[in-house]
Amino acid sequence: MNTIEVRNLIKRYQDRAVLDGINLSIKKGETFVIMGGSGCGKSTLLRHLIGSEKPDNGEIFINEKNITAMPQKELDELRKKIGILYQSGALLNSLTVGENIALPLVEHTKLAPDIIEIIIKMKLELVGLTGFENLKPAELSGGMKKRVGLARAIAMDPEIVFYDEPGAGLDPVVTGVIDKLIKDLSQKLNITSIVVTHEMTSAFRIADRMAMLYNGKVVQVGTPSEIKNSANPIVQQFITGSPDGPIPLRRSGDEYLKILSG
């Protein structure tokens, strides 16, 4: 059974198709990496997958329910089974670390305060930040914020967790720690993980399968070794990071000509 199924997803901003007919299926329990350069549409795709944006065309099924045609109430119900780790961690700065993690539990469950207290401790232990519950997010480093964000994302024991650029702005060691956490969580808790990233080292480290996005289209889907050995020049250029190849530096050569010739 596929946990997530994307069918012919199209999204246009003005006249430019940011998502141009995306098809993807993500299996239950796997770690699926969506990679691509800046502006390839991967963040837009993520916003569609979590229901923050509506497509112009196409459908997204999560657990066989179409989220693009879902009333807000049902979407909110579904979102309780989804965790999201935002790029910046997106912790509420007015609350402590503990209160941040407790927030979805306090609002969505009828658990007693002392039980919530225990859950907070367990989740912080999972991300290696035991004893940090009384600090404010402003007192944490970038990597710690992300780990707290991760603890909050898994507070409700979600079936699916989305990661938006988990390694952005972190040093290689912390990135490695986060990658290991992602891997551990999906194995220990059997969570389906969707990771959006452009960092190839972590992508190959965590992925069960990966998809390469280019110009709003899926260029290739496959296991890390299939991607590594891909014959597709776009994929090859992207994973080697070579400046020469089919991926242009500028968006449009025609426009440049127009600017030059007036």
Partner 1 sequence: MLSLIGYIGRTIRTFLQHVSGFFWLFGQTLSWIFLKPYRLRLKPIFQQMEFIGFNSIPIVCFVSLFFGLTLAMLTSYQLEKVGSELLVGGLVGVAFTRELGPLLTSLVISARVGAAITAELGTMKVGEEIDALDTMALEPVRFLIAPRLIAIVLMLPLLVILSNIMGILGGYIIGFTNLHMNTGFYFRMTFDAMVLKDIYTGLFKSVFFAFIIGMVGSYQGFIVRGGAEGVGRATTTSVVTSIELVIIVDAFLNAVFYFI
Position 191 contacts partner 1 (CB under 8 A) = no
Position 222 contacts partner 1 (CB under 8 A) = no
CB closer to partner 1 out of 78 and 211? 78
Residues 21-50, mask of contacts with partner 1 (x by CB under 8 A): -----------------------------x
Output helix, strand, coil percentages for the chain, rounded to the nearest 5: 40, 25, 35
CB closer to partner 1 out of 162 and 238? 162
> Residue ranges of the alpha helices (H) in the chain?
42-49, 72-79, 97-108, 113-126, 142-153, 172-189, 200-206, 224-228, 233-240, 253-261
Among 215, 224, 196, 219, residue whose Cα is nearest residue 48 = 196
Residues 107-146, mask of contacts with partner 1 (x by CB under 8 A): xx--------------------------------------
Amino acid at 84: I
The dihedral formed by the CA atoms of 44, 45, 48 and 50, expressed in degrees to the nearest 10: -110
Measured from the CB of residue 88, what is the shortest distance to partner 1 in angstroms?
Answer: 6
Measured from the CB of residue 146, what is the shortest distance to partner 1 in angstroms?
Answer: 12
Among 80, 25, 62, 29, residue whose Cα is nearest residue 192 = 29
> 188 is written with which tokens?
């220990």
Query: How many residues of this chain interact with partner 1, rule: CB under 8 A?
Result: 21
Span 73-102, contacts to partner 1 by CB under 8 A: 75-77, 79-80, 82, 84, 86-88, 90-93
Position 51 contacts partner 1 (CB under 8 A) = yes
List residues near partner 1 by CB under 8 A. Answer: 50-52, 75-77, 79-80, 82, 84, 86-88, 90-93, 103-104, 107-108
